[in-house]
Structure 1
């Protein structure tokens, strides 16, 4: 595996080095001319003034100008501030201030004859030694990676606000994928700057990926299923779902598993690959849930009248919505009663709302039937002794029992 760590000169790097060397040469000539005409003390005073203005006066003036104009054009500036990349602005401001400080310090050294810039930095910028330029490029690329990561978070946040139904977990997954892409790209660029050959590393990473894939195929399956769940969105956090034989409220969705809280207060963790290959029932997605209750009336009861009374009783219950309207359907001939099915809907379905609605419907219909003298029968059984039953049948048939030998 060939990995090299020496920065190789490139035409672009040579051009950059030559440009910086020419800039330092012009700077040194200008300062030498200033010293020759004005003297070192005057040149030093001028440099101090430049340093003070660039580091103290200009930032203070900009801050004051922003605070004064914000009262007059607040809305306009606020709109600009919302779309201004604050992090990039801060980075460029700090770079400009640091460059100015370095420039003034170097100028001091030139003015007082302590440093010959051209002779000092010449070997590093004429193409013979690329380590300085590679270091500068690396620092710039690292700063660029963090700036892009911060701006990506802002862009994704604005996108999620503009798109309806974009959940926080989808936003987080998209952000993490974007950050990984940015840092991998910047890392590969830094390796290229230093002349490191990545072909051997890529071959080794390919074999390692095969081994890891075979050893952790279940984990990778859960990972892939997690991404599918994130973007297919069969449910979100807070939904009341039934996954296979597990029922509860979704409390968290990660890239590896889904967490439910069941109605006993227990937390159930289900791997995402098991979620994806089972039937998922989402009771909260529509915002409405239909509930049913069976009730029986006596065979002597007018069924149509009982149905009307049950509808009126359910319509008066606050937990039952008006649309769709409650309904009653004759369902079955029971052993002791005509069985009717009460159908009604609740909104914003949750387990507590479900049981409150069922309890209210049972109480309301029972009270209405009692007021209207409608009987809700219960099963009845008649028990008899088998010997007694045989004697009764003999008597009913006119059979007279006589002793033996009496004719």
Structure 2
């Protein structure tokens, strides 16, 4: 004698209620159990393990799976409770010999798969959004790409399942899709290149939305990143759209990623001034600017011998770098250093030229000064500057 399985025992138990009152009572009990466990108890248990983004995603998936199992189990229990189990079994047996019922079953199955995929896609959207809130490493761009990729694979899998329900020859379909892919690949090489580059940018993360970047000869703030292109807003208020394949093969300078930006400003001092003293005064003046951070500290170095001055290079850092913050810091440093040099008597010289005349012409002489030309009564040439 075969031992009864738990499923057979459950069927016998559910079909044993013959009175209307008993069936109504068991129906209410089943609904209370499904609602209580699925939407009251399980969510509270899941909240206790949501310490990280990964645990949150895993626990959320387990919760939805448990709720789905409860709904399916509760629905089947009610079907057998109200005596429709044998009818469904008979209908399924007849459907194997009836072509119309078989087509109807395939249609219902296809619709069910589609709506199931749609429901899972909605769940993925919420799951990725919540994952982005818990995971600081996930940017908005990566969140969008992750969602679109997951939905693409989901609906692709659902399409394969629906084709399998209708007994479609997937081998021939894949061969045709392969030839079509080759043709489309040759016709849209640049578009596919931008698409692949978009995925590469998603994983390499050279910049994010809001960063101040320089891509090739274009500079601006990143306002949008899609699979196909990157959009910048330059400092003239113009929007520049760069295909991702051009972004990937050009040098990218990200001035915002580190959170600090070093700025250099040159200043000249007179040759008679002491460079060491001027350096000390400049460092103190820069340190007093609120726009400049204290660490790393500002630095000043004698850089070169200019035509009219010894050139000092000032180096200082700003945080949260943006073009307005850079220009504000440069303005503050120039004003502060100039005022400090004036207070200390350190001269910032104007450009100067030293002129000499040709010896055979007697050189240049100041008007009224005695010289060979004055003694001879000839007119004296006036000095001219090449400036």
Query: How far did 1:87 drift?
Result: 3.8
Query: How far did 1:355 drift?
Result: 0.9
Matched, 1:215 2:191: no
Paired position in structure 1 for 2:351: 379
Q: Distance in 1 between matches of 2:148 and 2:118?
A: 13
Residue by residue over 1:218-260, the C-alpha shift from the partner in whole angstroms, topping out at 9 and shown as x without a partner, is 1111111111111111111111101111111111111011011
Q: Determine which structure has more spread, i.e. the larger CA radius of gyration.
A: 1
Query: How far did 1:285 drift?
Result: 1.5
Residue by residue over 1:74-116, the C-alpha shift from the partner in whole angstroms, topping out at 9 and shown as x without a partner, is 6x563269625454445445445554555566559x9xxxxx7
Query: How far did 1:309 drift?
Result: 0.6
Structure 2 vs 1, CA of residues 397 and 135 (structure 1 numbering), >3 Å: closer, same or farther?
closer
Query: How far did 1:171 drift?
Result: 2.6
The range that moved more, 176-185 or 144-153, is 144-153
Paired position in structure 2 for 1:281: 253
Structure 2 vs 1, CA of residues 54 and 337 (structure 1 numbering), >3 Å: closer, same or farther?
same
| Residue from 103, 123, 132 that aligns with 2:94 | 123
Paired position in structure 1 for 2:268: 296
Matched, 1:331 2:300: no
Q: Distance in 1 between matches of 2:71 and 2:369?
A: 113
- Structure 1 residues 12-91: aligned runs within 5 Å: 43-55=19-31, 58=33, 78-79=47-48, 83-85=59-61, 86-91=63-68
Query: How far did 1:269 drift?
Result: 1.1
Query: How far did 1:197 drift?
Result: 1.1
The range that moved more, 308-317 or 372-381, is 372-381
**Which of the pair has the greater relative contact order for Cα pairs under 8 Å at 6+ separation?**
1
Query: How far did 1:369 drift?
Result: 1.1
Matched, 1:315 2:315: no
The range that moved more, 199-208 or 298-307, is 199-208
The range that moved more, 383-392 or 146-155, is 383-392
Paired position in structure 2 for 1:187: 159
Residue by residue over 1:176-234, the C-alpha shift from the partner in whole angstroms, topping out at 9 and shown as x without a partner, is 22222222223212222321112332222222212211221111111111111111111
Q: Distance in 2 between matches of 1:305 and 1:238?
A: 41
Corresponding residue SS for 2:214 = strand
- Structure 1 residues 3-14: aligned runs within 5 Å: none
| Residue from 191, 198, 211 that aligns with 1:239 | 211
Query: How far did 1:135 drift?
Result: 5.1
Q: Note if contact 1:47-1:107 (Cα within 8 Å) is conserved in structure 2.
A: no
Paired position in structure 2 for 1:396: 372
Corresponding residue SS for 2:349 = coil
Q: Note if contact 2:209-2:224 (Cα within 8 Å) is conserved in structure 1.
A: yes
CA RMSD of aligned residues (A): 4.1
Corresponding residue SS for 1:190 = helix
Query: How far did 1:144 drift?
Result: 4.7
Matched, 1:258 2:230: yes
Residue by residue over 1:364-383, the C-alpha shift from the partner in whole angstroms, topping out at 9 and shown as x without a partner, is 11111111122211125699
Q: Distance in 2 between matches of 1:130 and 1:265?
A: 63
Unmatched segments (≥5 aa) in structure 2: 1-7, 51-55, 379-387
Paired position in structure 2 for 1:173: 145
Corresponding residue SS for 2:48 = helix
Structure 2 vs 1, CA of residues 119 and 279 (structure 1 numbering), >3 Å: closer, same or farther?
closer
Q: Distance in 2 between matches of 1:399 and 1:64?
A: 116
Q: Note if contact 2:38-2:67 (Cα within 8 Å) is conserved in structure 1.
A: no
Unmatched segments (≥5 aa) in structure 1: 1-22, 35-41, 111-115, 403-407
Matched, 1:348 2:348: no
Corresponding residue SS for 1:330 = strand
Q: Distance in 2 between matches of 1:288 and 1:89?
A: 48
